[in-house]
Amino acid sequence: MSFLKFLTNKYGCNKPILSNEIEYEDYSKQQVYKELSQLCKSKEIVRLERGVYFIPKKTKFGTMIFNPMKAIEKKYISEDENIFGYYSGAYLRYQLGLSKLKPNTIDIYTNNETQKTHRIKIANQNLLLRKPRTKIDKFNASVLCFLELMNGIDVETLDEYKRKLISDYINENRITQKQITKYIPYLPDKTCRNLIESEVIYRVPQ
């Protein structure tokens, strides 16, 4: 089986491929990178950024557009049931409906970043990657995401509609005061003040 056919069978078209997860026959990492480089030159695969590729899907109408968010999710947020990151900042507020303005830069806390902050670009999307305050997993990602939201929120801008949106997130992710007590020490003191002043803390179940 050719290297390209192997990739197509394993990952499919228009889906992100991370070079560090490829295991093909007895190839070394150097051989894998060499094969990827050759496939890029022949335009049979596309390199989004270092270590991130996809096989373009071609139709009778032309090549389908690849959504870079697929690669961002897989590399920095989650894969299957493994969660290792979450959105934050202005992008999270936009996702939750707390802001109507879609930011140019997506803010992400991820285990796959070792620097305090690191700006990169995947395709045309700007990312601000942040080293997590504590290791992220499927058990704490939602509460850490919530606490980062409260750390960065402007309490003065909250009305009942926005409090309801935050309450919905709390309920959907089953966040409890016990979880908050466990993880809030990792956040600045401002987080606790905002929770109390916004009265959001009173909407969190015990």
Answer whether residue 124 shows pLDDT above 90: no
Q: Provide the pLDDT for residue 189.
A: 96
Rounded distance, CA 56 to CA 193, Å? Answer: 49
* N residues, the chain: 206
101 Cβ neighbours under 8 A, 6+ residues apart: 90, 94
Q: Would you say residue 62 has pLDDT above 90?
A: no
For residue 169, give both structure tokens: 């997130």
Exposure letters 5-34 (e unless 16+ CB within 10 A, then b):
ebbeeebeebebbeeeebeeeeeeeeebee
Over range 50-73, report the average pLDDT.
86
Check whether 200 has a pLDDT greater than 80.
yes
For the segment 47-53, the average pLDDT, to the nearest whole number, is 89
pLDDT at 49: 86
In one-letter notation, the amino acid at residue 52 is V
Q: In this structure, are strands 52-54 and 58-59 parallel, antiparallel, or unpaired?
A: unpaired
For the segment 63-99, what is each residue's pLDDT rounded down to a tens digit? Answer: 778 888 999 999 999 998 899 999 999 999 999 999 9
- Closest Cα to residue 170, out of 147, 138, 193, 136? 147
The pLDDT, as a whole number, for residue 94 is 96
Name every residue whose Cβ is closer than 8 Å to that of residue 13 and which is 6 or more positions away in sequence.
54, 55, 56, 57, 64
Considering the entire predicted model, what is its pTM?
Answer: 0.88
Average pLDDT over residues 149-178: 95
Q: Is the distance from CB of 198 to CB of 163 less than 8 angstroms?
A: yes
**Mean of per-residue pLDDT scores for the chain:** 93
